Structure 1
C-alpha cells in the first residue's frame, strides 16, 4: 500500500452528506484485534461521582461537562436511539441524519481495531458529552464517532495516519463554543513523538473533523515496535470539565531497516497474520500435496481454523540442513515414472515447523505421496494435478515427502520466497497457508 502524499495532511472540516455506511463496502481481508474492544475510559458512574463531589465543594454556581467513553455495545445502542429523546424525556432539540465517518473499516463500525499487513483502522460511535447545570440537572448531550486509519508500506519507513471525529447527534442544550482537542503520541524511535491534531477546534452537529499526517521510524539496528496512543478532550469555556481526557491505544507498527529482507526497509502491522495463497491451477500436484497434508496429518500446518500458523525460518544454513535431512541425495530416490521427479517436502524447510526441526532426521519417516498423471497437454499443473499416498500413513507423521515434477516443486518454493518479501516476514513471523483453485 503506497504512502499517501503529505499534501493531504491539511486539517479539513466538512459537513457530512455521504450515503449511509451500508452503501459502502470494504472487501479487504481484515483481522480483528479481539482485546481492543475492552479499552476503558470514564463512564456514566464516574461522571455521577464527579458531579456529586463538585457540588459538595463548589464555591460558585457553574455548569459542568462530562466526557465519557462508550463501549462497543453502548455505542451501538446510542447510535440506534439516534438521540431521539432529550433530557427528561423531551424531544431532541437537534437531530440530523449524520453518517459515521468512512475509512477501510466501514462495515465494521464496532470499536475494535482491524488490520491487514499494511493497514490498521477502527470506526465507532464511542464518545458522549453530557452537559449539566450547577444543580446537577442534565441539560443536553452530544454523541461523537471517531475513525482512525494507519496506512503503511513494506518499502518505506514512513506511514500516514488519518484521524476523524464526527458529531453525530445532540439533545437539549449544549454550552457555547464546544471544541475538540486531540493528541497522538508515537513511541520512540518514531518521529514526531507528539502530534497535536486539534487544539480547541470548534465542532458542531453534523461536522466532521479530519486530518492526515505523516509519521516516520528512525531506523535502529533491530526491529522497532512502535505503539500509538491517543488523548481526546471535548469541552467548552462555559462548562467545568469534570473528568480527565479520554485516552486509548491499540495501534501498533513494526519497522525494520533491511533486517527481515536484505534489500527492503519498511513497516507492517505485526499482529496481523498474512495468508500465503497457493493456486492448484498454477502448482498442480505440489499444491495438492500441501492440502493433503493439511487435511490428513495431525499437524494441520497453516490450516486456519484447524491448525496453527507456520512460522518463517530466516537462517539459510538451517534451511539447507532441514532440506538435507528430508530430501538429501542419499535419502531420496527419484521415480522414473514422474516427469523430472524431485523431492518435495512440507512443512517447508524455511519454516520452524520443518520435520527436521521436530525430531525427523530422514525423509522416510515422513508420510509419503506421489504425483498422479492425468493428461499429456504439456501444462504440468494440468498433467500432474494431484497426489496419492504410498505406503502406510498413520496421520501422526511430522511431515510429508512427495515425488513431484521439478518445476511445480520449485515454483511453490519461489512463491513462498516472494510472499516473505511482499509481507516483510521477520524470523518466526506466523503465516497461514491456503490452497485455492
Structure 2
C-alpha cells in the first residue's frame, strides 16, 4: 500500500502486508451445514510516512446465514511484524434435495496516520466460490465448484481397467480427462441417459474375448459422462476402438487391439477386461462422485498411477 504525494506524484511511504485466507467446507447429516473461514494479516514492512498503520477488513458471503463478518472491529492497528488472525463459522441452510451457490466478497481499507492509503481493495465478487447441496451421498456439504477435481485410479489394483482409462485419456487424440490437455470429463447424473450410453456401447449382444477369464465389456469415456459415445453421436459400440486384455508374464495386465490397427482418433474405446477390474474402476468413480460432490455437468480429470512405484 503506497502513500503518493498528490503534487509531485512521488511515493512518500509504503506499507506491505501478507494476507492468508482459507475457506473450509464441512459435510453434515442435517441442514444447516457449516463453512469455516480463516483470515491472517501480517504487516511485514513499513517505510517513509507509512507509520501508525491500521486496516479495516470485511468478509461478505451471499448465501450464508451471516452476510457480513469481520475478523476485528473497525480499523485495527498494526506494528511492524504484527499478525492478526481469526477463524469463524458461518451456517448455510440447504433445501432438502437442493443446492445453493455461495458468493464471497472481501474488501479491505488501510490507513497510515489516519489517512487512507488508497481506494478500498475488493476481490471475489461474482465468482461463485462455493456451492452447497443435498443431492450427493445423502448428506449436506459444500465444495469449491471452480476447482475441477481429479479421479485417481491405481494401476496396481485396477490393471486392465486402469489401462483403458490411461489409453483413453493420454493416447487417444481426444484426450478424455487429461488435465495436461485441459480436456475434462463432464459428469452425467441422469440414470436413464447413462444406462442408454452403456447399452449402446456394451449391448447384450457383445461377446467378450473368451481368452479373458470372467471377461466383461468395458468402455471409455465412462457412460456417466457427456463425452460417452463421442458426445452422443455414436450409435453402435462397433464404431469404438476394439481392445482386449492379456495378463503378462509378470502378472500385470495390458491392452491390445482387436482385428485391426490402432486408430488414434477413434470416437470411443471398448475393451474386454476382467470383470473385477472393470467393477473396481466403476467403484472408484462412484466413491469419487460422492466424496467431491459431483453434480450434473461438473467437470473432472482422471489420473492413472501405480502405487507400487511410490
Range into which the TM-score falls when normalised by the shorter chain:
0.7 to 0.9
**TM-score, L = length of structure 2:** 0.88
Shift of 1:131: 7.5
CA–CA distance in structure 1, aligned partners of residues 282 and 6 of structure 2: 69
1:412 and 2:300 aligned: no
If asked which structure has higher relative contact order (CA below 8 Å, sep 6+), I would say 2
- Larger mean Cα displacement after TM superposition, 132-141 or 385-394: 132-141
**Which ranges of structure 2 fall in alignment gaps of 5 or more residues?**
none
**TM-score, L = length of structure 1:** 0.63
The aligned residue for residue 248 of structure 2 is: 374
The aligned residue for residue 46 of structure 2 is: 170
In structure 2, the CA distance between the partners of 1:232 and 1:328, relative to structure 1 (3 Å rule), is same
Shift of 1:234: 1.8
In structure 2, the CA distance between the partners of 1:400 and 1:146, relative to structure 1 (3 Å rule), is same
Contact 1:223 1:254 in 2 (8 A): no
The aligned residue for residue 214 of structure 1 is: 89
The aligned residue for residue 349 of structure 1 is: 223
Matches within 5 A, 1:209-288: 209-220=84-95, 222-235=98-111, 239-241=114-116, 243-249=118-124, 252-259=128-135, 261-288=136-163
The aligned residue for residue 431 of structure 1 is: 300
The aligned residue for residue 65 of structure 2 is: 191
Matches within 5 A, 1:7-26: none
- Larger mean Cα displacement after TM superposition, 345-354 or 295-304: 295-304
The aligned residue for residue 149 of structure 1 is: 22
In structure 2, the CA distance between the partners of 1:295 and 1:166, relative to structure 1 (3 Å rule), is closer
The aligned residue for residue 98 of structure 1 is: none
The aligned residue for residue 194 of structure 2 is: 319
What's the secondary structure of 1:404's corresponding residue?
Answer: strand
Contact 1:299 1:307 in 2 (8 A): no
Contact 1:191 1:215 in 2 (8 A): yes
Shift of 1:345: 0.6
Q: Which entry has the higher C-alpha Rg, 1 or 2?
A: 1
CA–CA distance in structure 2, aligned partners of residues 345 and 138 of structure 1: 63
CA–CA distance in structure 1, aligned partners of residues 184 and 100 of structure 2: 23
CA–CA distance in structure 2, aligned partners of residues 262 and 295 of structure 1: 30
CA–CA distance in structure 2, aligned partners of residues 429 and 195 of structure 1: 30
**Which ranges of structure 1 fall in alignment gaps of 5 or more residues?**
1-127, 376-381
Shift of 1:374: 2.1
- The Cα RMSD (Å) is 2.5
CA–CA distance in structure 2, aligned partners of residues 143 and 186 of structure 1: 26
Shift of 1:138: 6.1
